[in-house]
């Protein structure tokens, strides 16, 4: 099938490459000429395992092309995907200007029937707005051309996006059109052979499904972080609790790992947008607001622990930081907990020596050159001259360190673990102090209750 994709970010680029890899003819359109030139040269602007060879091989075979020519893209595609950004607006709502601009572009250039597929994460009712936008432009042109607008939300995990796209858990299709459904079934047939993964529903339900899925996962994270904070105050171990509740198949082990809070381009934005949508209907989303509040507090927790340990000031202290991306296997630092930590450390007077396997260039782009930040080429280099270590991202490279070497290099022999990578007893045996999230001994004594509550 001939497919045009407007937008070459995470979603558009991965979706385009994977569709091309099964034989579809894909043309990706973007307004950023420099980005398109880089993609045409085989340069991938994001860190995503397996994506670069996938793009390069399908370009070489002629099934995947990149262009700034919107008219060519519209002419090429019988299916036209909108995969542009929907950043949060000042009030927390999703900003639809790029989606509607892409819809106008499609309407200006279409000469025959098209199926427009909303792949971007958009609020309920966006398909109606896209349809109204296309109708308005066609009316201005005096053209009467048939089209459909379909909701087909993405469920990709950064760091595993290629695998998720190739082997989707489900393919959500929102449409009332049998013609559009038939087209999408044909498009996704190569990914639907083992069993039927397609779930067809009305457009508004499909739009809400995406937000509900991300809000549910964010809720699980904030819930386990809430219980972790309680465990610290009760002298319980959240890792034991996590295993205990995760063994219940109704709960499961996924997304119940306590830590420094969630980040990235999806969960924070989507929870905020869903809260805004709820308010716009006159409904108070109390659970979602609590999820967001807990996450905001959790993202500050690691910095608060370090500052409290040192009595409120980090003047003259050098803090080694392992992990800057919001999760492993990506260079994405949008809403990353590391950004909260670094700002807190700098405000308290600390110098930071940081390492991340993928996000060093992104960190330099965000923070620039500053005297209180040294970006280091390896985890070991970050430890040089450091007083303590803070772990923010659970990259595999950090999972089995040489604890004797940590004890030798860290002047204050302290580890602040925002991802619970290590067993406290193992760390202690090497003479290191250890603060984790919800584990025994993690709270400064000044924060611990003087007596445990009576049952």
- Tens-digit pLDDT profile for residues 295-311: 999 999 999 999 999 99
Q: How far apart are CA 301 and CA 295, in angstroms?
A: 10
Starting at the edge strand found earlier in the chain, the sheet holding 114-118 runs 64-67, 25-29, 2-6, 79-82, 114-118, 147-151, 171-174, 198-201
In terms of Cα–Cα distance, which of 453, 433, 429 is closest to 443?
433
Q: What is the largest CA-CA distance in the chain?
A: 78
For the question of residue 376 being annotated catalytic, the response is: no
Q: How far apart are CA 381 and CA 363, in angstroms?
A: 17
Residue 29 exposure: Cα atoms within 13 Å on the Cβ side? 20
Residues 339-391: tens digit of each pLDDT: 999 999 999 999 999 999 999 999 999 999 999 999 999 999 999 999 999 99
Does residue 452 have a pLDDT over 80? Answer: no
Instruction: Name the active-site residue from 28, 266, 376, 388.
Output: 266
pTM: 0.91
Q: Report the pLDDT value the prediction gives residue 446, as an integer from 0 to 100.
A: 43
- What are the b/e assignments for 158-170, b being 16+ CB within 10 Å? bbbbbebbeebee
Q: How high does pLDDT run on average in the chain? A: 94
DSSP E strand boundaries for 143-214: 147-151, 171-174, 198-201
Q: Which residues contact 381 (CB under 8 A, 6 or more apart)?
A: 353, 355
* 3-state SS class at 59: helix
In this prediction, residue 426 has a pLDDT band, given cuts at 50, 70 and 90, of very high
Does residue 447 have a pLDDT over 70? Answer: no
In this prediction, residue 441 has a pLDDT band, given cuts at 50, 70 and 90, of low
Does residue 443 have a pLDDT over 80? Answer: no
Please write down the HEC assignment for all residues of 334-390: CCCHHHHHHHHHHHCCCEEEEECCCCHHHHHHHHCCCCCEEECCCHHHHHCCCCEEE
Q: How deeply is 140 buried, as exposed, middle or buried, from its count of CB atoms within 10 A (0-12, 13-18, 19+)? A: exposed
Q: Report the pLDDT value the prediction gives residue 376, as an integer from 0 to 100.
A: 98
Residues 211-241: tens digit of each pLDDT: 999 999 999 999 999 999 999 999 999 999 9
Residue 381 exposure: Cα atoms within 13 Å on the Cβ side? 9
Cα angle at 212 between 86 and 8, to 5 degrees?
30
For residues 28 and 12, is the Cβ–Cβ distance under 8 A?
Answer: yes
Q: Which residues contact 155 (CB under 8 A, 6 or more apart)?
A: 164, 168, 169, 170, 172, 210, 213
Q: Report the pLDDT value the prediction gives residue 88, as an integer from 0 to 100.
A: 81
In terms of Cα–Cα distance, which of 71, 138, 42, 47 is closest to 359?
47
**Phi, psi (5° rounding) for residue 372?**
-100, 15
Neighbour count for residue 91 (Cβ, 10 Å): 11
For residues 297 and 303, is the Cβ–Cβ distance under 8 A?
Answer: no
């Amino acid at each position: 099938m001939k497919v045009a994709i407007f937008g070459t970010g995470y979603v558009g680029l991965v979706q385009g490459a994977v569709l091309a890899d099964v034989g579809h003819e894909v043309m990706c359109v973007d307004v950023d000429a420099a980005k398109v030139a880089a993609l045409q040269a085989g340069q991938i602007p994001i860190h995503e395992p397996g994506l670069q060879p996938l793009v390069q091989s399908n370009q070489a075979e002629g099934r995947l092309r990149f262009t700034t020519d919107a008219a060519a893209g519209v002419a090429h595609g019988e299916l036209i995907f909108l995969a542009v950004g929907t950043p949060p607006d000042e009030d927390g709502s999703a900003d639809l200007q790029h989606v509607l601009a892409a819809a106008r572009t499609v309407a200006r250039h279409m000469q025959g029937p098209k199926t427009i597929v909303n792949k971007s994460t958009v609020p309920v009712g966006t398909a109606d707005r896209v349809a109204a936008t296309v109708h308005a432009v066609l009316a201005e042109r005096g053209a009467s051309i048939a089209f459909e607008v379909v909701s087909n939300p993405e469920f990709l995990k950064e760091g595993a996006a290629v695998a998720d796209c190739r082997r989707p858990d489900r393919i959500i299709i929102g449409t009332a059109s049998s013609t559009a459904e038939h087209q999408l079934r044909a498009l996704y047939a190569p990914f639907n052979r083992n069993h039927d993964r397609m779930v067809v529903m009305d457009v508004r339900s499909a739009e809400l499904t995406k937000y509900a899925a991300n809000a549910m996962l964010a809720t699980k994270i904030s819930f386990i972080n809430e219980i972790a904070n309680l465990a610290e105050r009760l002298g319980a171990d959240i890792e034991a609790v996590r295993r205990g509740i995760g063994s219940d198949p109704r709960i499961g082990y996924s997304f119940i790992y306590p830590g420094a809070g969630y980040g990235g381009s999806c969960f924070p934005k989507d929870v905020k947008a869903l809260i805004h949508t709820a308010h716009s209907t006159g409904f108070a989303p109390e659970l979602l607001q609590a999820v967001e509040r807990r996450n905001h507090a959790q993202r500050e927790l690691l910095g608060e622990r370090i500052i409290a340990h040192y009595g409120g000031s980090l003047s003259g202290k050098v803090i080694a930081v392992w992990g800057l991306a919001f999760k492993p296997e990506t260079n994405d630092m949008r809403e990353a907990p590391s950004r909260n930590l670094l700002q807190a450390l700098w405000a308290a007077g600390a110098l930071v020596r940081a390492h991340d396997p993928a996000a060093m260039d992104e960190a330099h782009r965000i923070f620039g050159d500053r005297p209180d930040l040294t970006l280091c080429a390896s985890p070991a280099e970050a430890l040089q001259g450091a007083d303590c270590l803070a772990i923010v991202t659970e990259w595999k490279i950090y999972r089995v360190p040489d604890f004797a070497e940590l004890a030798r290099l860290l002047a204050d022999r302290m580890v602040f673990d925002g991802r619970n990578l290590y067993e406290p007893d193992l760390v202690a045996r090497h003479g290191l102090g250890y603060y984790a999230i919800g584990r025994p001994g993690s709270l400064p004594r000044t924060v611990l209750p003087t007596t445990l509550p009576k049952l």
